[in-house]
Chain A
Amino acid sequence: MLLIEADGKALLAEHGVAVPASVLVANATIGDLPGDGPWMVKAQVPVGGRGKAGGVARCTSAHEAAAAVQRMLGSRLKGHQVDACLIEQAATGEERYLAVMVDAASYGLRVIYSSQGGIDIEQSGLAWGRLCPPHAGAVAEALAELGAEADVVALGRELANMLLECELALAEINPLFVSGAGCVAGDAKLVVDLGAIERQPRIAALIEARPQTYADANRKLTEGFDYVELDPEGEIGLITTGAGLSMMLIDELTARGMKPLNFCDIRTGQMRGSPARVMRVLEWVTSRPSLRAVLVSVFAGITDLAEFGTLLATGIEQTPNLRVPVVARLIGRGAADARRILTERQPAVFVTEDLEEALRRIEACA
């Protein structure tokens, strides 16, 4: 999961990387700005390409900065609501690109460096990469081979240490400003590993501190399953198991002109006889007034659908706010029992084994 720039920079600063003086603002009252202008105003959403999407503005006066903040706050940038803006003193110097990341194919690290930073660097073909073993010393050597000067090599070593200590997937600085005064990180793109969170208390604290910004990650950590809100004005709520299938259903619903509200991997195998997860998902999807229908899809290899059918019926009973049709596509072990249970307890639920039929039914509701 990608951290917002402000959190990435906080982590960089803790690991000895210089960052510009800044303030984080969450409302239009911007207060005192750090140092002299010009300033950069940047929407704090965890996506790349913010500049091209209108989420970065260079401002020469406090008035301009306030206007930029006002424009960005509350808007949506690449699917994320902008809840905060970072205002920082614009750094100066030559722009470089530096990234250290986990390289899956070589079981090592990939170091990418370019003497020309900027927003298009990844596509420009000007950045050069080296693979190396997962050690800070090897990263420093790779950077030296790529032609980085001593300051940048030293910074790369710190970045690699941080990546290894904090168990990050990616640490990217673009642009990295280099001048006689040293190196300053103009941006920070750090990708954390939620799998390691139990032994990374600092990262856990960053995520817990922003329940809104990291809503999806916080939900995963507290609930133990995956739920990602895709569109707060979505129409189709999903209760599905399996990440790949859930993504595919979202693609297929969208291709048919429908608006899925959420991604969900409820993990039926971990429900252990409790309807709690079903109830949580129903609570979240019914909190959106745009909801038109709920699609349940479970392919049960191991899970007993009789048990899941019971939990689904209970979950629906316990969610009085649920006033839209439910289509349950249940296939596999115990599907006939699940159908019988749902027909008895929740006759309004449309039950089928056929995914295409379920999708057509949902289409009719939307």
Chain B
Amino acid sequence: MIGTLSHITPVIVQGITGRMGRTHAALMRAYGTNIVGGTSTRTDAKDAAGVPVFASCRDAVLATGAIASVAMAPPLETLAAVEEALAAGIRLIVTVAEGIPLHDALKIGRAVRRADATWIGGSTPGMAIPGQIKLGFLPDVCLRPGPFAIMSKSGTLSYECGYRLAEAGLGQSIWVGVGGDQVKGLRFADLLTVFFADPRTHAIILVGEVGGSEEEECANALAHLGVRKPLYALIAGREAKEGVSMGHAGALVMGNVGTLASKTQRLAAAGARVFGSIEAIVEACVQDFASMRT
């Protein structure tokens, strides 16, 4: 699903009349995303950000044929927003809210799996295929078509990497913010197969952080599939305080679980190159892909 998204993919924005929804619908449209409508509980709203507003996802999908949705719902309302979107036939949903309750996220994950749909989020800036489509709010200044697929738990840390590489003439094939939550939609390991299959992608950048086992799962998948494309990893949180979530709900170290050492060792053993600073990963990518600079 991810690899086939393009500037013609019809997209709706759930919660389009809110402050966030209106702003980002307009910015996504300006980027070239085919925003075809939005939903709102406000009955007086007929259009927003230049597209029609519908009372429900069902109405929006019937009228526009949308297959993807960006849910600009508050964290406690995200579960209902996803259920509504799935019932309307939406195939890909991006939830940007930070702080979706963990057990709501479990329910979202199970509903998405039953519907055989794709979920990105939460606590994510969303995803983009530069030059084609942007779902969410990755900064335009970082986006540039190019050889690197980026997958990241952190928005801002991926912006730093993406921006510096873009400045050096190295852009992105696909950029997915998997988000900082513990229970989420697409995970690093899921994306590995997507990026390996994507002909635009020449190398992969993984921006991880301490907590959970997603980096370790990705290392397992990499060991199993083989390093078909080089993988560069940057992992934050060496100095994270144990027992406390560092901003992201998923960034919680307890005992030996979720530590930087475990992630680094597993990824390196599987054939990834792991870096400890932004400058180091950017320099390595620029050096290795100097011939692809545009």
Tell me the A residues contacting B by CB distance below 8 Å.
Answer: 1-2, 45-49, 78-80, 102, 104-105, 107-108, 122-123, 134, 164, 167, 169, 189, 191, 193-196, 198-199, 216-217, 226, 228, 230, 241-248, 250-252, 254-255, 260, 263, 265, 299-302, 331-333, 355-356
Contacts and interface: CB of A to CB of B under 8 A. Distances in A.
B224 interface: no
Most buried by B among A216, A228, A247, A356: A247
B102 A244 contact: no
A46 B276 CA distance: 27
Given A102-B182, A193-B249, A46 B155 contact: no
Interface stretch (B44-52, B87-95, B193-201, B232-240): B232-240
B244 A46 contact: yes
B241 A228 contact: yes
Interface stretch (B33-41, B55-63, B158-166, B266-274): B158-166
Please name the 7 residue pairs, one residue from A and one from B, whose CB atoms are nearest each other, closest first: A244-B154, A242-B156, A301-B139, A243-B247, A244-B157, A107-B109, A48-B255
Given A196-B101, A244-B207, A263 B247 contact: yes
B42 interface: no
Given A191-B252, A255-B277, A1 B237 contact: no
A100 B248 CA distance: 22
A243 B242 contact: no
Contacts of B113: 107
A2 B243 contact: yes
Interface in B158-185: 158-160, 163, 180, 182-184
Contacts of A331: 163
9 contacts: A46-B243, A79-B242, A123-B256, A244-B180, A247-B209, A247-B246, A251-B237, A302-B139, A355-B160
Q: What is the size category of the interface that chain B forms with chain A?
A: 35 or more
B65 interface: no
B279 interface: yes
Interface string B90-127: 00000000011111101001100100000000000100
Nearest to A216: B244
Contacts of A228: 241, 244, 246-247
B101 to A, nearest CB: 4
B245 A194 contact: yes
A45 B241 CA distance: 12
Contacts of A260: 239
B292 interface: no
Given A49-B255, A195-B100, A247-B239, 6 more contacts: A102-B102, A104-B212, A107-B106, A122-B255, A244-B236, A265-B247
A247 B139 contact: no
A274 B158 CA distance: 27
A242 B238 CA distance: 16
Contacts of A189: 254
B203 interface: no
B80 interface: no
B205 to A, nearest CB: 13
Contacts of A105: 187, 213, 217
B106 A134 contact: yes
A351 B93 CA distance: 39
B241 A230 contact: yes
A65 B242 CA distance: 27
Nearest to A200: B101
A1 B244 contact: yes
B141 to A, nearest CB: 6
B20 to A, nearest CB: 9
Nearest to B237: A247
Contacts of B140: 301
A189 B138 CA distance: 37
A302 B137 contact: yes
B28 to A, nearest CB: 12
A32 to B, nearest CB: 31
A78 B241 CA distance: 8
B210 interface: yes
B142 A301 contact: yes
Given A248-B278, A263-B247, A243 B180 contact: yes
Most buried by A among B113, B153, B243: B243
